[in-house]
Amino acid sequence: MTGIAVRIDSISVLSLPEEADERAVQKTVQDALRRLAERLARSPLARSGVKELALEKLSLEAISADELLSERGAERLADELYSAILRRSL
């Protein structure tokens, strides 16, 4: 089997305002994870033949709720996740 499989046990989004649309947050996170998988498939990790990478915990710097729920929110979240994974694995 080739390609990249991503398994995430849990995601916590903290400090969103009460009026934040839960479906919009879920859609943004799903879109970000799809973008992340696409980037990882083209990353140095994939080219180096890494078979499995397990990170027990991955935390990001705060992304404001306004930014997360903006038009570019999924892209920004994917960028942050990708950078954090590469920093921890290379």
pLDDT tens readout for residues 30-54: 999 999 988 988 888 777 766 666 6
16 vs 76, higher pLDDT = 76
38 in a structural domain: yes
Integer CA distances (angstroms), 80 to 29, 60, 66, in order: 12, 7, 16
| C-alpha closest to that of 10 among 45, 59, 53, 46 | 59
| Confidence grade of residue 77 (pLDDT, cut at 50, 70, 90) | very high
Mean pLDDT, residues 24-29 taken together: 90
Six token digits for residue 77: 């979240």
Six token digits for residue 11: 């995601």
- How many domains does one find in the chain? 1
Six token digits for residue 13: 């989004």
Please tell me the pTM assigned to this model. Answer: 0.77
Amino acid occupying residue 76: R
75 in a structural domain: yes
Domain limits at 72?
24-47+65-89
Provide the pLDDT for residue 1: 43
